[in-house]
Chains A and B, each alone.
Chain A
């Protein structure tokens, strides 16, 4: 082969190696992101069982799953150092958002507050040789999109709570969603942000469902207050229905 052609082939082989390394790294991030998504969803399912299991049991289970998720983040962390964090953010963000949704729901159920980005990063921090840095970085967009997915899950928790007659839980959910709606609207007022805009209809419909459910609950309670179940006896009902009790 002539020298010029040889030169071209050698340089392009090097370029191939670089591109291959990049694509492979990107694939690894995608795989980690998928695994993180799956496990985060399991965390959410665990958390939603709080209306049927004891809180201690639920939080212990979630803690266990959380440690498993951290292992996945540790794996992903290797590919996301320095400038690579933003380079592969598009591939990592689905997992990160799903995770934020999970820890966000956890925080709401346990402490009745909205998790902050700082707290998210703290949850991703593990001590290793005196160094305490988060395993991955979280952008503002990751954080916003993650918490804007909370209404759906809070809605589920709320409906389950209504079934248990837990008025206090419903009231907390309502306040939480109203606050989220106000916050998201505030952010959208400064910046056009399509991905966040898409979440707004879901947020609105979740809020509406909870308000309706709370309304029904309140009406039923008013009704129940006017009837004292203890005074209902067999003869009383029979008299109402003109039945023969003899």
Chain B
């Protein structure tokens, strides 16, 4: 009789396996789509600012696909069990948020807000520490996405000078330092968010070096 307990558990675990397959498949497809979008976006580093819009337009189809797969995940997962499986897709969602952040900066030279993320990815960013009742993108995933922006910005600053654009690095410098001040307000614990936050200062340094190089040569 006692053994029946384990037989029942066996069955439950077997059933869960098919759920895992659905989740893993959606994640795999999203991952592929993110990589494709990321590859297309790198073109923005070799084009002048005026042509940035072409690059961001080119990845709109990828955002549609990503939205679709997040939708699939939301169908598979009940909100009460959201955090049971959340670790599986958190990395790909962080990447998706990074794509949104970079796209918005390229198009409108501003910070992507949670509302922007919701528009591009189809799901709300959970900015409150509350019980959730629907599938959400977590605040940490959004913040990870913004942190990725710093790296793109430091590269963009360098590459802008290469195409003789000295105005953009100035904007980047002011923008990045403001954003960094915002990040420095956060009380972070020793987790992946903290570790990635620590890498921001190197991007800030690179951006400041570009500024300095331009200033010192009286180019700005």
Chain A interfacial positions (CB closer than 8 Å to B): 4-5, 8-9, 11-16, 18-23, 25, 81-87, 89, 113-114, 116-117, 139-140, 144, 179, 182-184, 186-187, 189-191
Contacts and interface: CB of A to CB of B under 8 A. Distances in A.
Interface of B: 1-3, 5-7, 9-10, 12-14, 17, 79-84, 111, 113, 127-129, 131-133, 139, 143, 178-179, 181-183, 185-189
B113 to A, nearest CB: 8
Contacts, number: 98
Contacts of A191: 13, 17
Contacts of B10: 186-187, 189-190
B186 A4 contact: no
B79 to A, nearest CB: 5
Contacts of A87: 83
A8 B181 CA distance: 8
B139 A15 contact: yes
Among A15, A113, A189, A191, max chain B CB count under 10 A is at: A15
A94 B179 CA distance: 39
A9 B80 contact: no
B5 A19 contact: no
Given A86-B82, A113-B2, A187 B132 contact: no
A150 to B, nearest CB: 12
B7 A186 contact: yes
15 contacts: A5-B181, A9-B182, A12-B186, A13-B185, A15-B186, A82-B133, A83-B80, A83-B131, A83-B132, A83-B133, A86-B84, A182-B6, A183-B2, A187-B10, A191-B13
A23 to B, nearest CB: 6
A8 B184 CA distance: 11
B185 A19 contact: no
Contacts of A144: 9
A15 B133 CA distance: 20
B188 A19 contact: yes
Among B5, B132, B182, max chain A CB count under 10 A is at: B5
A183 B6 contact: yes
B80 A86 contact: yes
Nearest to A22: B129
Contacts of B186: 12, 15-16, 19
B6 A8 contact: no
Contacts of A140: 9, 12-13
Nearest to B87: A90
B128 A19 contact: no
Contacts of A190: 10, 13-14
B13 A9 contact: no
Given A16-B187, A23-B189, A84 B131 contact: yes
A128 to B, nearest CB: 20
Given A4-B178, A11-B182, A144-B9, 13 more contacts: A8-B182, A12-B186, A14-B127, A15-B186, A18-B127, A83-B131, A85-B80, A87-B83, A113-B2, A182-B3, A186-B3, A186-B6, A187-B9
